[in-house]
Chains A and B, each alone.
Chain A
Amino acid sequence: MSATLTTPTTETTRRSNQRASAVPPPTKRKRNGRERHTYIYVGVAVVIVYCLAPVYWMAASSLRRTSDIFSLSPLPIPASFESFLAIFDPSQGFLRSLLNSFIIASSVTVLALVVAVTAGYALARLQFRGKPLFMIAVVATSMFPTVALIVPMLKIFSAVGWINTYQALILPSLSFALPLAIWNLTTFFRQMPNDLEQAAMVDGCTRGQAFRRVILPLATPGIFTTAIITFVSAWNEFLIPLTMTNRPDVQPATIVISRFSGVSQFDTPFGSQMAAAMIVTLPLILMVLLFQRRIVSGLAAGALK
Chain B
Amino acid sequence: MTAVVHGKTRSAGTPARPPVRQSWHNEGRLALTLLAPGVLVMVVVIVLPILETIRQSLFGAPGLDPATGFVNETEPFVALANYTDIFSSTGERFWRALGNTSFFAVATVVPETIIGVGMALIMNQALRARALVRVAILIPWAIPTALSGVLWGWIFSANGVANAFLPTQVLWTSDGFAAQLAVIMADTWKTAPFLALLVLAGLQTIPVEVYEAARVDGAGPWRRFIGVTLPLVRPALVVAILFRMLDALRMFDLPYVLIGPRKSSVETISMLAQDEAAALRYGSAAAYAIILFLYIFLIAFVFVRMFGADVLGARDRVGPTRAERRAAKANARFIAAASAASPKETLR
Q: What residues of chain A have their CB less than 8 Å away from a CB belonging to chain B?
A: 1-2, 4-8, 10-18, 20-24, 40-41, 43-44, 47-48, 50-52, 54-55, 57-58, 61, 70, 72, 114-116, 118-119, 121-124, 126-149, 151-153, 155-156, 171-172, 174-175, 178-180, 182-184, 186-188, 190-193, 195-196, 218, 221-222, 224-225, 228-229, 232, 235-236, 238, 254, 257-258, 268, 270, 273-274, 276-277, 280-281, 284-285, 288-289, 292-293, 295-300, 303
Contact = CB atoms under 8 A, between A and B. Distances in A.
A229 to B, nearest CB: 7
Interface stretch (B69-77, B88-96, B234-242): B234-242
B320 to A, nearest CB: 14
Q: Is the interface of A mostly helix, strand, loop or mixed?
A: helix
A129 B202 CA distance: 27
A75 B211 CA distance: 46
Nearest to A183: B239
A55 B139 contact: yes
Contacts of B137: 47-48, 51
A135 B312 contact: yes
B18 interface: no
Contacts of A232: 141-142
A199 to B, nearest CB: 8
Contact of A183 (B30, B194, B311, B316): B311
Nearest to A223: B201
Nearest 8 A-B pairs (CB), nearest first? Answer: A148-B289, A5-B221, A152-B49, A4-B121, A8-B211, A18-B343, A152-B52, A122-B34
Interface residues of B, number: 129
B323 interface: no
Contacts of B202: 187
Interface of B: 1, 3-4, 7-8, 11, 23-24, 27-28, 30-32, 34-35, 37-38, 41-42, 44-50, 52-53, 56, 118-119, 121-127, 131, 133-148, 150-152, 154-155, 159-161, 164, 189, 193-194, 197-198, 200-205, 208, 211-212, 215, 221-222, 224-225, 229, 235-236, 238-239, 242-243, 246-247, 249-250, 252, 269-270, 273-274, 277, 282, 285-286, 288-289, 292-293, 296-297, 300-301, 304, 310-314, 316-317, 335, 338-339, 342-348
Given A133-B7, A152-B53, A288 B134 contact: yes
A151 B282 contact: yes
B35 A122 contact: yes
B281 to A, nearest CB: 12
B139 A51 contact: yes
B57 to A, nearest CB: 9
Nearest to A174: B41
Contact of A191 (B124, B235, B314): B235
Contacts of A16: 343, 345-346
B139 A52 contact: yes
B38 A128 contact: no
Given A8-B347, A149-B50, A174-B45, A292 B134 contact: yes
A151 B283 CA distance: 12
Contacts of B123: 296
Contact of A153 (B45, B122, B147, B160): B45
